[in-house]
Amino acid sequence: MSRKRTFFSILLLAALLLTVVACSPNAASPGAAQTAGEGGITVVGTGEAFGPPDTAEVQLGAETFAPTVAEATSQNEALVEAIMAALAEQGIESRDIRTSNYSLWAEQIYGERGPEGIAGYRVSNLVTVTIRDINAVGAVIGAVTEAGANNIHGISFRVADPAALEDEARAAAIANARARAESLAELSGVTLGEIVNISEVITQPGIPLVRGMGGAMDAAAEASISAGELGYSVQVQVTFAIQ
């Protein structure tokens, strides 16, 4: 009899527990709507914004060759002084000129058995110049060429303050994310809710996109330079609630 009473007591307790769970207001029904805390739709949106650059950087300088180090160095210094004077005449301030490379090396004479002596010495002096008036790029390059610059390369363009373009790209990225999420919601037969999480996807330091850049340099007069447009691309990851 003791075992039977124990068994019936366990059955009664189990029945009471099932009744409490079934009557609880927090018990989820099979067809309950999904809340933001239970999941959502996560997408990555991409946005771009383009605008004209307002600043340019160019590497330029002089390379000389002479039989002795003294001659090569002296000739190079004379050319660099003339280049600096030309830059000053074009309104380039000293704070916008920095040395980017200076090198001196001996050039060997080679014969059938290898090096046979030194032919002379070559000196190269390059500076990086920041041009803050984008319309003056051609005139600056033309002026330094006439002053004796024989090494010009590495022209690049940028926007001094890209904040406005970045904001425009972010807005486009969020709009793109919403469009993607709405498409997924429609295909899935659910209703898109509010944004519950958003973050910007950081990959690497912003490298501006270049569009429509071209042009050729005319060493005899002003250089013909086309700056084109620069753009910034932004990606955002957005999670939307679903209903």
Q: What is the pLDDT of residues 110-125, one digit of tens each?
A: 888 888 889 999 999 9
* 71, containing H or E segment: helix 69-89
Cβ partners under 8 Å of residue 156, min gap 6: 56, 57, 58
User: Which pLDDT score is estimated for 25?
Assistant: 39
In a domain, 13, yes or no: no
* Average confidence (pLDDT) over 200-220: 53
Beta carbons of 88 and 21 less than 8 angstroms apart: no
Does any domain span residue 20?
Answer: no
Is residue 26 situated within a structural domain? no
Would residue 21 count as lying in a domain?
A: no
The pLDDT value recorded for residue 189 is 94
* CB-CB neighbours of 4 under 10 Å: 8
Domain that holds residue 122: 55-158
CA-only gyration radius of the chain, Å: 35
Question: What residues contact 105, with CB distance under 8 A and at least 6 apart?
Answer: 121, 122
Q: Is residue 207 within 8 Å of 122, Cβ to Cβ?
A: no
pLDDT tens, residue by residue, 71-102 = 999 999 999 999 999 999 999 999 999 999 99
**Does 84 map to a domain?**
yes
Three-state DSSP state, 128:
strand
- Residue 235: which of 43, 53, 51, 52 has the closest Cα? 43
Regarding whether 45 and 63 lie in a shared domain, the answer is no
Domain boundary among 115, 139, 158: 158
Q: What is the CATH number of the domain that holds 79?
A: 3.30.70.2970
Tokens describing residue 238: 């957005």
DSSP structural state of residue 214? B
Could you tell me if 187 and 69 lie in one domain?
Answer: no
Q: Are residues 68 and 129 in the same domain?
A: yes
Which pLDDT score, from 0 to 100, does residue 203 have?
A: 66
CB atoms within 10 A of CB 75: 17
- Picking from 158, 184, 211, the residue at the C-terminal end of a domain is 158
Output the CA torsion sign for 85, 90, 96, 99: negative
Same structural domain for residues 168 and 220? yes
Give the closest residue to 138 by CA, choosing from 157, 120, 123: 157
What pLDDT is stored for residue 88 in this prediction? 98
Phi, psi of 143 (to 5 degrees): -65, -45
> Does residue 172 carry a pLDDT above 70?
yes
Burial 110-122, CB ≥16 within 10 A → b, else e: eeeeeeeeeebbb
- Do residues 49 and 163 touch, judged by C-beta distance below 8 A? no
User: Which CATH number goes with the domain that contains 176?
Assistant: 3.30.110.170
pLDDT at position 21: 36
Same domain, yes or no, for 204 and 152?
Answer: no
Q: Are residues 217 and 197 part of one domain?
A: yes
How many structural domains does the chain have?
Answer: 2
Give the pLDDT confidence of 121-162 residue by residue, as tens digits: 999 999 999 999 999 999 999 999 999 999 999 899 999 999
- Show the beta-strand stretches assigned E in 90-228: 97-111, 114-131, 151-158, 192-200, 209-211
Question: Does pLDDT of 30 surpass 70?
Answer: no
Yes or no: say if 83 and 60 are a contact pair by the CB < 8 Å rule.
yes
Residue 32 has pLDDT above 80, yes or no: no
Name the more confident of 3 and 155: 155
Same domain, yes or no, for 148 and 168?
no
